[in-house]
Structure 1
Amino acid sequence: MSTCATVSRQLHEPMSATAPTATTWLLLEQPGPWGARALTSSHLDPDLGRSLERAAEGTGVRVALIRRPGRHADCRTPSVRHVYAAHTVPGDAWLHSAMTVDPARLLGLDFAALGRGDHHSFDAALGGRPHTGDPLALVCTNGKRDRCCALLGRPLAATLAASGVRGAWEVTHLGGHRFSPTLLILPYGYAYGRAEAHAVKDALHGVREGRVVLEGCRGRTAWERPGQAAELAVRTASGEHRADALSVVRTESLDTDGDAPRWEVTVAHADGRRWHVTVVRGVAEPPHPESCGAAVLGGPTRMDVTAVRELTVARSVPAR
């Protein structure tokens, strides 16, 4: 039986606008095995995992577990853990890091403030500070969630680590199993699919220069799916690769009269230019599973860009 990743690749399914959504990522180191819902099915205290899920709900913060690439036997709990927080909104993207001996201290964070991009509670509660090391390359490897993540993600994570990528971590869940191996690069928050080691290294090199590599890009997690599609379409049309040059400033749902849902998304450039992008939700054809454990029920959905229009910006005329 073919895996979901094999089927998706054979169908050349587009990956644009399939990134997970989060304005801020909160990452806690947790070695050892992970279950399908890792926050409550790992060596992390399940009560703490449930409390973190509740605290993050509706704030724009997404909590995930990370571990170093390698074998993951049923090993002891670490005495000191890495913790990262990353805000992904353009113009205010940042990555802070900390170490903690007590993961329950994460409950002292102001999750609403973190979601808005305020790192002060992270720094105060955990002794966090700006991360000065390499960008993070988080590869989804949770085989209990989908076998493709283990079969394809773990070798990629191991290859990155063996080749000297110091920011390489395994992460619990990024969605889009059928695009395995999938990864997230922080601080900018661009997700990638069907990734190969050389492409990941190119993307990391781009981050160091403040650039986005579009090959294999699924979108920026700061935006909902219509915004992800619109931003990538404007990048393709304009040739803009600077990470913080573009922002999604408005997403308006259009009257569909029973047709497929549509949105008009406004994308703004830091230099004042603007674009209106029309995005339509469609269904991939032929229908195929979103993951290895899912039944085919007319999906998966996709975001199709049908128009990209650069707006004429009125220029003020100096008074004489």
Structure 2
Amino acid sequence: MNTCTTASRDLEEPLAGSAATARTWLLIEQPGPWGAKALVSSHLDPEVGRAVEAAADGTGVRVALIRRPGRHADHHASQRHRVYVAHTVPGNTWLRSTTVAAPEELLRLDFAALGSGRHGGFGAPYEGEPLAFVCTNGKRDRCCALLGRPLASALSSSGGEGSGGEGVWEITHLGGHRFSPTLLVLPYGYAYGRSSAADVKEVLHAVRSDRIVLHGCRGSSAWDRPGQAAELAVRRTTAEYRAGVLSVVHTTSVDRPTDPPVDAHAYNAYWDVTIAHMDGRRWTVVVARGASLPPRPESCGAALGSPARMDVVAVREASALRG
């Protein structure tokens, strides 16, 4: 079957620097079917969905709906809704959870505070297994349903250490359909693509030890896309797999670098990204944005396009900062 996913995989499109960006995630349980714009096309009251979306706009909070894997009958069962709120910036990473009788209760939240990392006592600290959210919304792209739903089901039904089980949810949208199956892992907020059940079990096992798996990693949602690519490059260069020890402290748009020289025809933007380690070390990472060629569909049914890709062209360590 010729899909956006097979085209991206066959063309070896890089994953790094392709994650959705969000300092804070607000994830609301909503069973039943989802439409392409799930906040206004599901069993969630569309007026509530629009109001939550508007409240989150520009705050750094990304809102999505979640549901348990399995069959999703078209019914309007009345129940409490599980809600997760997660802030993913290193140094202030937290994950909190509660249930609400009606999602409109969430309109009382201070979204600006959530986006800046202040939870205001919402819910309670989540202390369970790491959470994996697999994108399964076939109304946005068929690859998410064809590849995501079997993955979520397999993870949910499998037993044993590292399986996920109760920590596995389906989610409405994570971006990057062509990288399906895609998932977000909390509490640290790293996104993954082209994932198998074995891959996800490895990721969840690592998170239990506060470590990050780099295979299939798209980046941390805490950073913009140049920062995502830069942080992963430093991890690969230094073999640093511990979660929460690296931060993007500065991203600056720059002219085309001459050291190292790059092909001016291959890229259309450049950044110097400063990555800091909690031990004081720093790196300057040169990231270049180019177009993925040859053209390929960014989603199934879409016209051929050249989606942006983030390439790291240099990683330079600076002197450690001294107090």
Please indicate the TM-score interval, normalised by the length of the shorter structure: over 0.9
RMSD between aligned residues = 1.4
The offset of 1:309, in angstroms, is 0.1
Q: 1:209 aligns to what?
A: 209
Q: Equivalent residues in 2 for 1:286-305 (5 A)?
A: 286-297=294-305, 299-305=306-312
The offset of 1:315, in angstroms, is 5.2
C-alpha distance in 2, partners of 1:33/1:88? 28
Q: Does residue 310 in structure 1 map to residue 317 in structure 2?
A: yes
* SS of 1:166 mapped into structure 2: helix
C-alpha distance in 2, partners of 1:222/1:211? 16
Q: 1:87 aligns to what?
A: 87
Q: 1:156 aligns to what?
A: 151
Q: What do residues 215-270 of structure 1 show as CA deviations (whole Å, max 9, x unaligned)?
A: 10000000000000000000000110011110000000013498611000000000
Q: Equivalent residues in 2 for 1:58-207 (5 A)?
A: 58-120=58-120, 123=122, 128-164=123-159, 165-207=165-207
Amino acid paired to 1:115: G
Stretches of structure 1 that go unaligned for 5 or more consecutive residues are none
Between 215-224 and 251-260, the greater mean CA deviation after superposition = 251-260
TM-score, L = length of structure 2: 0.93
TM-score, L = length of structure 1: 0.94
Q: Is the 8 A contact 1:288 1:296 kept in 2?
A: yes
C-alpha distance in 2, partners of 1:78/1:180? 32
Q: 1:236 aligns to what?
A: 236
C-alpha distance in 2, partners of 1:292/1:60? 29
Q: What do residues 172-214 of structure 1 show as CA deviations (whole Å, max 9, x unaligned)?
A: 0000100100000001000000001111011111111110000
Amino acid paired to 2:202: D
Amino acid paired to 1:68: R
Q: Is the 8 A contact 1:93 1:187 kept in 2?
A: yes
* SS of 2:274 mapped into structure 1: strand
Amino acid paired to 1:216: G
C-alpha distance in 2, partners of 1:215/1:273? 24
Q: Is the 8 A contact 1:52 1:107 kept in 2?
A: yes
Between 146-155 and 287-296, the greater mean CA deviation after superposition = 287-296
Amino acid paired to 1:303: M
* SS of 2:166 mapped into structure 1: coil
C-alpha distance in 2, partners of 1:7/1:89? 33
Identity of aligned residues (%): 65
Amino acid paired to 1:291: S
* SS of 1:105 mapped into structure 2: helix
Which 4+ residue blocks in structure 1 deviate beyond 4 angstroms?
Answer: 256-259
Q: Is the 8 A contact 1:43 1:77 kept in 2?
A: no
* SS of 1:204 mapped into structure 2: helix
Amino acid paired to 1:283: A
Q: Is the 8 A contact 2:87 2:95 kept in 1?
A: yes
Q: 1:265 aligns to what?
A: 273
Q: Is the 8 A contact 1:31 1:78 kept in 2?
A: no
Q: What do residues 94-149 of structure 1 show as CA deviations (whole Å, max 9, x unaligned)?
A: 1100011011000000000000111115x1xxxx1001111110000000000000
Amino acid paired to 1:134: E
Amino acid paired to 1:306: V
